[in-house]
């Protein structure tokens, strides 16, 4: 067998478009997951009991089942309960909901790690609960959770490859099509692996730079 990337090069415009789809779903889905995960954490910490039970069930179900199965149920099972989504919205929604469950646990651990004395000091100064949360706890929590949050962001990037099973026109879907049509599976998968490796490396470097920048704002544990 001969390794030949000609078929890949011929598909360069489609390749660039599929890369754009992958990155768009990753960035938008991750942003949505961070926001949704944060509000899930607030609901678990401060919401009424019925809301806490509901949110806890959501987190446990999402974290306890594979992303692949969740996508299948959403895309192919959704129409049976009146939820019919096109591939792109279904993929974006799936990434957001999946990531939010994990981000909520990351944020929960961050809130729990904040020294109790900092919260008590804010209360002594007369800050309300929500002022304490957004002026004291959220900034400190952000510094504490940055490393695991970056790691989760990288995981979500790699999970976008699963979206090919519901025909989302992202990079993995295109590479699978080229591989099956041109019998160039090795070349297609090599290009796919290089793309994900490059993007994971970039995400890791950005995360490391943010950690270094925020290191100047570390706080004393009391």
Domain-located, residue 200 = yes
Q: What would the pLDDT profile of 165-182 be if each residue is shown by its tens digit? A: 998 989 899 888 888 887
| pLDDT tens per residue across span 107-150 | 999 988 888 887 778 778 778 777 887 878 888 888 889 889 99
The verdict on residue 222 lying in a domain is: no
Task: Encode pLDDT of 183-195 as tens digits.
Answer: 778 888 888 999 9
Question: What's the pLDDT at 149?
Answer: 93
Which residue reads 């646990």 in tokens? Answer: 105
* Parent domain of 45: 6-217
H or E segment and range at residue 216 = none
**Is 189 within the bounds of a domain?**
yes
Q: How many CB atoms lie within 10 A of CB 35?
A: 13
With respect to residue 210, please indicate whether it lies within any of the assigned structural domains. yes
Provide the mean pLDDT of the chain: 88
Q: What is the CATH number of the domain that holds 67?
A: 1.10.3720.10
Q: How many domains does the chain have?
A: 1
175 is a domain residue: yes
Res 216: pLDDT? 62
The pLDDT tens digits of the residues spanning 60-78 come to 999 999 999 999 999 999 9
Question: Domain for residue 104, yes or no?
Answer: yes
Whether 182 is covered by a domain: the verdict is yes
Going from the C-alpha of 62 to that of each of 104, 105, 148, 187, 210, the distances in angstroms are 11, 12, 18, 34, 29
For residue 22, the model assigns a pLDDT of 94
pLDDT number for residue 112:
87
Q: Which pLDDT belongs to residue 28?
A: 96
Contact 222/117 with Cβ under 8 angstroms? Answer: yes
Please check whether residue 1 lies inside any domain of the structure: no
Specify the pLDDT at position 200.
92
């Amino acid at each position: 067998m001969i390794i030949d990337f000609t078929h890949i090069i011929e598909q360069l415009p489609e390749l660039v478009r599929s890369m754009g789809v992958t990155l768009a779903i990753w960035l938008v889905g991750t942003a949505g997951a961070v926001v949704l995960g944060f509000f899930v954490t607030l609901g678990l910490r401060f919401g009424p009991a019925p809301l806490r039970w509901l949110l806890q069930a959501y987190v446990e179900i999402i974290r306890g089942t594979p992303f692949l199965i969740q996508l299948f149920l959403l895309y192919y099972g959704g129409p049976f309960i009146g939820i019919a989504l096109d591939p792109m919205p279904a993929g974006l929604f799936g990434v957001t909901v999946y990531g939010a469950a994990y981000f909520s646990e990351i944020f929960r651990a961050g809130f729990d790690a904040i020294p109790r004395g900092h919260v008590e000091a804010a209360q002594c100064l007369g800050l309300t609960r929500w002022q304490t949360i957004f002026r004291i706890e959220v900034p400190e929590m952000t510094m504490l959770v940055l490393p695991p949050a970056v790691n989760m962001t990288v995981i979500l990037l790699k999970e976008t490859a699963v979206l090919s099973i519901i025909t989302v026109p992202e990079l993995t879907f295109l590479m699978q099509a080229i591989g099956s049509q041109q019998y160039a599976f090795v070349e297609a998968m090599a290009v796919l692996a290089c793309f994900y490796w490059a993007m994971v490396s970039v995400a890791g470097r950005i995360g490391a730079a943010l950690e270094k920048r925020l290191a100047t704002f570390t706080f004393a544990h009391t």
